Structure 1
Amino acid sequence: MKIAFISDIHSNIHALSAVMEEIEKENVDEIYCCGDIVGYNAFPGECIELVDKYVKASVRGNHDHATINGDTIWFNEYGVAGINYCRKVLSDEKIKFLESLPTHLHFNREGIKFYIVHGSPRNELFEYIFPSTSEETFEEFSISVDANVVVLGHTHIPMKRKIGETLFLNPGSVGQPRDGNPKASFVIFDCKNKEAVFRRVNYNIEEAKRAIIDRGLPLFLAERLDLGI
């Protein structure tokens, strides 16, 4: 069984469509999302529709959460602009979809226990767990979470860390990568051989940038897509 994990789509329908096309070629059995379907970019509604159609389940990210309740106290000006835009353009039906998202998921596939969360097991929406995060922190999570594979989002940076018997993954970001590589990122986990393979996909960044500018979102949100920051 193959499982694709995606994260941090951030309303980038051009990137999400390219990723979904690539996943379709890989004979993947299920797709899971680690949150932040919306925010920053120009097409939150379209991204929700695609996730609802093709993704087995998604957890809630901090931008999804803020789009629901309007609380932007923890966000910088670019995050606030994206959230306010989402709250303006999304229908009540789309907001209800975001409200339905849990803050974490547990499931078992072929004897492998998975745990999915946007931030971390101790702060599900807001804590950043980077590849450079201390081994002690990962050890704490490996003890506190009953899972063989823990999949996180939020940082927009791909990650693979093995601590004891627990594998920690971050798929990276579909819609706003921050590792210096502008290509959309995701990861496929093969349950048979217990291997995780990261993939990067080109998409039409120019169209995504144009849409951001046309809708009056901050110019920096368009410029950063070229840079992968």
Structure 2
Amino acid sequence: MIAIFSDTHSNSGHELTGEALHAAREADTVIHAGDFTSTAALESFQRECDTLFAVHGNADSAAVRDRLPTARVVEAGGVRFAVTHRRDGGEMGLAMFGRSRDADVVVSGHTHRPTVIETEDCLLMNPGSHAQPRGNRTGFIVLEETDNGDDGGDGDGDDPKLTGELRQPDGTVLESIVVSP
């Protein structure tokens, strides 16, 4: 399983609850698109997750920025993820960021608005914010690898893909997601 978070904004710990905390603990890979805010929050995430790939955001302290890159590429579940906190240029800027990294998916944060948008180049995912939705719904994303269905590979129906959901911390599904590399 892959769990995706962003904008958890905390001065003390990860602040995850419910299904979001369960996903962070159970995931093989956790991706975080920045704005932990403090080293306490980053280190708390690191303790909960087996494998954490994170970038820093604009609200992160200097100590967090020193420990995390601005952008990174993660390969998980047969999919290439380009991760950043934000990019100028909105959807187009994020799609260009993904294209320049040969990504199937771009994970970003910053807006606190949980969204999944399909573009010509890649899928754009923003898990939203667990802690500070700022008028939006709280959110995180969970993806799991599947072997069924054909995703445009060789036509034999057994190409891997990821399926999952954009969820609220209590487990309420906001949107279903299919990622085809």
Say whether the fold is shared (TM-score over 0.5): yes
Question: Which amino acid in 1 is paired with 2:132?
Answer: Q
Percent identity, please.
28
Contact 1:3 1:30 in 2 (8 A): yes
Question: Given that residues 10 and 176 in structure 1 are in contact (C-alpha distance below 8 angstroms), is that contact kept between their aligned partners in structure 2?
Answer: yes
- Contact 1:109–1:191 (CA<8 Å) still a contact in 2? no
| Other-structure match for 2:151 | none
Aligned with residue 59 of structure 2, among 44, 60, 63 = 63
Paired position in structure 2 for 1:159:
115
Q: Does 1:104 align with 2:71?
A: yes
What's the Cα RMSD here? 2.6
What residue ranges of structure 1 are gaps of 5+ in the alignment?
Answer: 39-43, 69-94, 121-126, 203-229
Q: Tell me, yes or no, if the aligned pair for 2:13 and 2:45 is still in contact at 8 Å.
A: no
**Contact 1:15–1:175 (Cα < 8 Å) also in 2:** no
Rounded to whole Å, the distance in 2 between the matches of 1:169 and 1:37 is: 18
Q: Which of 162, 166, 175 pairs up with 1:198?
A: 166
Distance 1:50 1:100, change over 3 A: same
**Deviation of the 1:11 alpha carbon:** 0.6
Q: Higher helix proportion, which one?
A: 1
Q: 1: CA distance between counterparts of 2:24 and 2:32?
A: 16
Which amino acid letter does the alignment assign opposite residue 113 of structure 1?
A: R
- Give, in whole Å, the separation in 1 of the partners of 2:44 and 2:13: 11
Map 1:120-131; keep pairs closer than 5 Å: 120=87, 127=88, 129=90
Q: Which amino acid aligns with 1:119?
A: R
Residue 119 of structure 1 and its aligned partner are, at CA, apart by: 0.5
- Please identify the structure whose Cα radius of gyration is greater: 1
Number of positions where the alignment pairs a residue of Structure 1 with one of Structure 2 = 153
Q: Where is the strand percentage greater, Structure 1 or Structure 2?
A: 2
Q: Is the 8 A contact 2:14 2:44 kept in 1?
A: no
**Do the aligned partners of residues 141 and 103 (structure 1) sit closer, same or farther apart at CA in structure 2, a change above 3 Å counting?**
closer
Structure 1 108/185 Cα, relative in aligned 2: closer, same or farther at 3 Å? same
Q: Give the TM-score taking structure 1 as reference length.
A: 0.58
Q: C-alpha separation between the residues in 1 aligned to 2:24 and 2:74? A: 22
1:49 paired with 2:38, answer no
1:119 is matched with 86
